[in-house]
Amino acid sequence: MSEEAPDVLEGQPCPMCHAKTLTLMESERDVPYFGKVYLFSMNCASCKYHLADVETESENPPVKYALDISSEEDMKIRVVKSSQATVKLPHIATITPGSAASGYVTNVEGILNRVRHQIESARDAEDDDPEAKKKAKSLLKKITKIQCGHEKQKLIIDDPSGNSAIISDKAEKSELK
């Protein structure tokens, strides 16, 4: 995956705290078997505001990708997720787009690690709910089994912007309805 040095603009006003400590970054990447993508990010040194997105070079129709994760090798499959995409791991979690949603280029393992982190954060916030902690523990075990190739799982990405992809011959691509 080739990558150019990012264009960086520092000292911009933050849309949240208005301090002139926002750094804007834009970079271009050529993702094999997918094409050129543009990565955008904003990071504020004062209030820690962060926003990131990814867009494709060409305009694409709304898309749905589905992947049956069945082995440890599947952890390496490249994933491009825009800020408008919904990521679904049925019976585990759904990551929906919102005002704080980010776009990124990662792999299946990276998606599972993000979900793991969300579950751990939710578990740690539940001080006095033993049932919620038990459910979180069960989900975390399931994610570990998936990452080790001991349990199968479907990964679904729905993107109305068409800027997302699962780059693998194993992935099923269809029109988002």
The residue-averaged pLDDT of 31-57 equals 86
Structure token pair of residue 109:
């393992």
Structure tokens at 168: 């693998």
Q: How far apart (Å, rounded) are the C-alpha atoms in residues 42 and 49?
A: 8
- 168: confidence class by pLDDT, cuts 50, 70, 90: very high
Confidence band (pLDDT; 50, 70, 90) for 4? low
Task: Check whether 174 has a pLDDT greater than 70.
Answer: yes
CB burial class (10 A; 0-12, 13-18, 19+) of residue 71?
A: middle
Query: What's the N-to-C CA distance of the chain in angstroms?
Result: 31
Domains delineated in the chain = 1-58 (2.20.25), 60-177 (2.60.120.1040)
DSSP, collapsed to helix, strand or coil, labels residue 141 as: helix
**Between 139 and 35, residue with greater pLDDT:** 139
pLDDT of the residue at 146 = 97
Strands 86-89 and 104-107: unpaired
